[in-house]
Amino acid sequence: MPNGPYFVETLKDAFALAELEGVKGWRWELAETHGLKVVRFDFVQGERHMFTNSDVRNPGDLSGLRIRTPPAPIWQESVRALGAAPTAMSFGDIYPGLQQRAIDGAEPTYANIRPSNLQETPTRVTEIGHILLILIRRLVLLVPNLIFG
């Protein structure tokens, strides 16, 4: 699933992006050129918050903290803009990374916490909602008339 920023204020605004001519063109190009079909723009995973082992009451408290991000520049820059030091790491490495203090925190959504047992590692949650994660679902067309998702 591709990730990218939406610079909008509300979910309604985010969902309206699907109707923009530029997005329609992008969807057409993905389908025609790459065999990928965007199925929907409405899978809302939730806001991302800071899960750390220290109090975060203002942006200054993030200074110097190594915060796990997905290994993509857009994610890393969002955390850097908050004052933290982004640390690219796969999702599966968050738990041992927190446990072994390789990172000082992570910024997952609540939907990711329980299935990965991340509630066992950090001691603080700071609800900042710096990113609202809305995933674009796609299907990969591997064989004509046969769709795998």
Q: Classify 11 in phi/psi space as left (phi over 0), alpha (psi -120 to 50) or beta.
A: alpha
Strand ranges, E, within the chain: 36-52, 66-69, 85-88, 105-106, 124-143, 146-148
**pLDDT confidence band for 137 (50 / 70 / 90):** very low
Q: What per-residue confidence (pLDDT) applies to 89?
A: 93
Closest CA to 85 of 52, 55, 126, 120: 52
* Mean of all residue pLDDT scores within the chain: 77
Domain borders along the chain are 11-148
Domain covering 11-148, topology: D-Maltodextrin-Binding Protein; domain 2 (3.40.190)
Q: What per-residue confidence (pLDDT) applies to 1?
A: 44
Instruction: Return the exposure string of 52-88: e unless at least 16 CB atoms fall within 10 Å of the residue's CB, then b.
Output: beeebeeeebbeebbbbbeeeeebbebbeebbbbbbe
Residue pLDDT, tens place only, 12-53: 877 787 788 988 888 888 888 888 877 766 666 677 788 898
According to DSSP, the β-strands at 146-148 and 36-52 are unpaired
Residue pLDDT, tens place only, 103-130: 999 988 877 878 888 888 878 887 777 7
Q: What per-residue confidence (pLDDT) applies to 95?
A: 92
pTM of the predicted structure, to 2 decimals:
0.66
What is the mean predicted confidence (pLDDT) over 70-87? 87
Q: CB atoms < 10 A from the CB of 144, how many?
A: 7
